[in-house]
Amino acid sequence: MAIKRNKITVVGAGFTGATTALMLAQKELGNVVLLDIPQLENPTKGKALDMLQASPVQKFDAQITGTSSYDDAADSDIVIITAGIARKPGMSRDDLVNTNAGIVRSVCENVKRVAPESIVIILSNPVDAMTYVAYQALGFPKNRVIGQSGVLDTARYCTFIAQELNVSVEDVRGFVLGGHGDDMVPLVRYSSVGGIPIDSLIPAERIADIVQRTRTGGGEIVSLLGNGSAYYAPAASLVQMTEAILKDKKRIIPVIAFLEGEYGYDNLFMGVPALLGADGIEKVFELELTAEEKAALDKSADSVKAVTAIIGS
Ligand SMILES: NC(=O)C1=CN([C@@H]2O[C@H](COP(=O)(O)OP(=O)(O)OC[C@H]3O[C@@H](n4cnc5c(N)ncnc54)[C@H](O)[C@@H]3O)[C@@H](O)[C@H]2O)C=CC1
Ligand SMILES: O=C([O-])CC(=O)C(=O)O
């Protein structure tokens, strides 16, 4: 008899998708289906088989299947969408909007057919707008359509704070609100190290540098890689979200959620702190913001609205 495990499909077997598939299996979060286009079926099968053959060495029990058929994704508990093109140096994430909207829409039509009860996590960029596209194409309730940006942006922010102070990343807390673009809003007032507010540990001008480096963190890696974008930290972020849902951990982490009045925004997907558990987004938290923080969030929301309008919200 087959062993009963969660089923997680990762659509897009490129850099982020393949890395995510391996990390999910290594954490034994479920059986993983890695899916890409028919023209890449053999390389996708090859990547999955190669990962599977790491399992006796690393001692993880999970099946990993490469495919181009949505039948293999049937009844997935979670579907992670990484399908689409990545930006190159000199491009913004928004330059990908038209190409990736078509890809995300077609992927979601298949997901809706084979995995109608799944929770869907979107990575493809520009991710706030792509999460909107997915929501429209899937027709799922809003708690089951979630975009990834805040875990990654917060991870970058916390990395830079830990480096600045030469302390363990484990003790750094903080989060980033807003759209996944260069005007995202790292919330300094809610950031601490070992419980100590960062503004009593780091001079204001260095904090400003950290905030700015966080905002352009994706672009920094695009420039260094030369031909693609980040994938290790994005994959780790997707895995953290998947784990929170599958283990019903009730974690409070920033994710892209559908806003219907929260923070004064309506009919918009954007990054906010949320409770993640077995039902997906179980609650969105609305924080008190200062006038300055709200103005920064409004600016970020305006950018998200502009790119979302291109694909017709
Ligand atoms: N939201 C975030 O924080 C992040 C978003 N991204 C975005 O994730 C996306 C993927 O990035 P990478 O994996 O580095 O790109 P990649 O080019 O390495 O992989 C993308 C894969 O999607 C596949 N694909 C294209 N159309 C498809 C379709 N219709 N069905 C199934 N698969 C399809 C391609 O064949 C390719 O294998 C990009 O849009 C990138 O900008 C990347 C990192 C972080
Ligand atoms: O920068 C990009 O294009 C990929 C991405 O979203 C990130 O790494 O934050």
Quick: pLDDT tens for 257-277: 999 999 999 999 999 999 999
User: Which residues fall within 8 angstroms of residue 51, CB to CB, at 6 or more apart?
Assistant: 18, 21, 22, 25, 64
Residue 125 CB–ligand 2 contact under 6 Å: yes
> Percent of the chain at pLDDT above 70?
99
Q: How confident is the model at residue 4 (pLDDT cuts 50, 70, 90)?
A: confident
Among 9, 180, 235, 293, the active-site one is 180
For ligand 1, whether the C-beta of 73 sits within 6 Å is no
Q: For residue 313, is pLDDT > 70? A: no
Task: Give the C-alpha separation, 101 to 242, whole Å.
Answer: 23
Position of tokens 């409770």? Answer: 275
Using a pLDDT cut of 90, give the percent of the chain over it: 98
For residue 16, say whether it is annotated as part of any ligand binding site.
yes
User: Would you state the structure tokens that stand for residue 177, as one six-digit string?
Assistant: 């609100």
219 is in an annotated binding site: no
CA-to-CA distance for 255 and 264, rounded, in angstroms?
17
At 121 the pLDDT is 99
Q: Give the per-residue pLDDT at 280.
A: 98
Q: Structure pTM?
A: 0.98
Query: And the tokens for 57?
Result: 């060495």
Q: How far is CA 176 from CA 55, 107, 246, 277, 278, in A?
A: 35, 28, 24, 20, 23
| R_g over Cα of the chain | 19
Separation of CA 12 and ligand 1 centre (Å): 6
- The CA-based diameter of the chain, rounded to the nearest angstrom, is 61
Tokens of 5: 């495990």
124 known member of a binding site: yes
Give the position, in ligand 1's atom list, of the atom nearest the Cα of 237: 3
Q: Give the number of whichever ligand sits closest to the CA of residue 16.
A: 1
The atom number, within ligand 2, closest to the CA of 96 reads: 3
Token pair 């997680």 is at which residue? 8
CB atoms < 10 A from the CB of 298, how many?
16
Residue nearest atom 8 of ligand 2, based on CA coordinates: 218
pLDDT in tens, 143-188: 999 999 999 999 999 999 999 999 999 999 998 999 999 999 999 9
Distance CA 97, CA 84 (A): 10
**Ligand having the closest approach to the CA of 21:** 1
Distances (CA, A) of 38 to 110, 171, 278: 14, 45, 32
Residue 106 assigned ligand-binding role:
no
**Nearest-angstrom CA–CA distance, 81 and 97:** 15
180 is catalytic: yes
Smallest CA-to-CA distance from 128 within 149, 153, 99 is with 149
The per-residue pLDDT of the chain, averaged, comes to 97
Asked whether 11 lines ligand 1 (CB < 6 A), one says yes
Decide whether any atom of ligand 2 lies within 6 Å of the 155 Cβ: no
Predicted pLDDT at 1: 65
The pLDDT of residue 312 is 81
For residue range 118-147, list pLDDT tens digits in order. Answer: 999 999 999 999 999 999 999 999 999 999
- Tokens coding 260: 């219907």
Token digits of residue 263: 């923070």
Nearest CA owner, ligand 2 atom 7: 218
Structure tokens at 23: 């990390």
Q: What is the rounded (10 degree) CA torsion for 229, 232, 234, 235? A: 130
Contact 123, 235 (CB under 8 A): no
Helix (H, G, I), strand (E, B) or coil at 290: coil
Q: Give the Cα separation of 145 and 257 in Å (integer).
A: 8
